[in-house]
Structure formats: structure tokens, C-alpha cells
Amino acid sequence: MDPTEREVACFEAGIKFGTLYHQFAGTPVSPESAASLERAMEAAVENQPHCTAVDVAILVDELDTTHDYTELTGRYMEVHMRIDYGETVVRTEMRMEDGYPMMRVVDVHEE
């Protein structure tokens, strides 16, 4: 059957997470460049439809600096997003759990 508005809103939320992760995974990142990458990731994904707010925190203290820089992966970031689709608001987050970058719907409600 057709999806409900809430289901479409959650689908849209998922698209944004897959976009953010796979567009930017592998980017060379260092403590010095982390802030500019956070801003660019947020602004890039906020361009997508229904994406109201994106907050990316690169975990600078966790970065492996053995070779001065490393490549961005899920272990080095925490992300929060808000999606507005119709009357529905979806809040999502990504954080590491058991060595896996877990993406999760935190809350869905109508406003």
C-alpha cells in the first residue's frame, strides 16, 4: 500500500543520512580541517528537500593523527538531523555503537 506521510518523512530522513555518510566518508581530515568539513557537510545536506537542520560534530580528539591526517569514517563523527515533511517532523541521529555507525530515528511527530 502507499506509504503514510510519516513513513515518507522517515524515508526522506534516511536518504539524508546515506547521502551525508557516503558523500564524505574517505575525506582527508585533521584537527585543523575538521571545522570546515563540519560546516560543508551541514550546508550540503541542508540543500536536500525537507532537510531543515543538520548538525555534524567531528570528534577531533578521536582523530588518528599518526600520519597527521586520517580519512573520515563514522567513528569520527556524531550527527543530528531534523526533517520536516508536510506536518511531520523527524529527528534522527548517528553515533557509534559496538563499533558500528548506527543511524536511528529518535522521534517522529506531527506539528
**One character per residue 26-45, x = contact with a second copy (rule: CB under 8 A):** xxxxx-xx--xx-xxxxxxx
Counting residues that bind a second copy (by CB under 8 A) gives 57
Judge whether 15 and 81 are in contact, CB under 8 Å: no
* Chain centre distance of CA 36: 15
* Residue 70 CA to its chain's centroid (Å): 19
Cβ nearer to a second copy, comparing 36 with 52 = 36
Q: Which of the residues 52 through 71 are near a second copy (CB under 8 A)? A: 66-69, 71
**For 55-77, b where at least 16 C-beta lie within 10 A, e where not — what string?**
ebebeeeebeeeeebbebebebb
Max Cα–Cα distance, the chain, nearest Å: 52
Least distance in angstroms from the C-beta of 4 to a second copy:
8
Q: Is 12 annotated as a binding residue?
A: yes
Q: Can you give the binding site for a second copy, defined by CB under 8 A?
A: 1-4, 6-8, 10-30, 32-33, 36-37, 39-48, 66-69, 71, 73, 90, 92, 99-100, 103, 105, 107-109
Task: Enumerate the known binding-site residues.
Answer: 12, 103
Task: Enumerate the known binding-site residues for substrate.
Answer: 12, 103
